Structure 1
Amino acid sequence: MQRTFIIFKPDCLDKKLVGTVLARFEQAGFSIIGCKMMILTPALLRVHYAHVTHFPFYPKLEQFMSSRPVVAVALQGENVIARVREMLGPTDSSKAPKGTIRGDFGESGMINVVHASDSVENAEIEIKRFFKPEEVFELEPAAQAR
């Protein structure tokens, strides 16, 4: 079982799409193992987006991501990282095909509904960054099938 990390971005909350998008993940067979609403501070965002803080667009990204609370979710399932990213479509929503989450609900490369981990290593780092250990629940495969 793999785990992945998702942030339902401000645009997702503004459009009242959290339940719709989360339902797609659950219908794909993934289990929610952690979920909370939070405000992303500039300090946390600088760590999370350290790989892009040097780009000119970063201040706008930080402003957008801290503009309202977001929902952070940890999911578990078979091949969850690749399958979630496939469900999302490309980062740039204008290039995402209809039927994908970003193609159906996103607007641009930044206003694109959700952030999702891109690797097993990053998923574990991001889950630890956004959740305390006691906020993530490991589910046995039998519990997922119920």
Structure 2
Amino acid sequence: GIGSGSANLGITTASFTLAVMGASVNSLGGTLSHFIGTPKIQMANMLKTPKLFVPIGIVSALAGLEGAILNVGGTPASAGFGISGLTGPLAAFSTGTNNILLLLLEFIVIPLALAYLAYLLFVKKLHFIQPLDLKLPEAE
């Protein structure tokens, strides 16, 4: 139910935040892979630089709260997949959020807004995160 939808929004927002914060040091393909895939590609960087968990935890919690407030649903099988394969949006659609514009707001607009706010706060203003902290290894 709502817990699954909130988990999907949290992981979507985490992906978008990692993409936005690292966009200046990663290739276009690397950046896009966050949006259409998963934040797991940043796992090595997250473990090497644990402070990256701070902005991710904050935006994920806010996105989860959004899910609870807007009654975004999901299924036990879809929990935590986020936008990867459209799993989260399709689960939300099948469990009651039948408005496509609302789904776009929930899974694209709000996560992007939170990602950009995290970028402005943690990278630009506080300098807590450096874009190089999110550099992906180059493919050979």
TM-score, normalized by length of structure 1?
Answer: 0.29
More helix by share: 2
Higher RCO (C-alpha 8 Å, min separation 6): 2
TM-score, normalized by length of structure 2?
Answer: 0.30
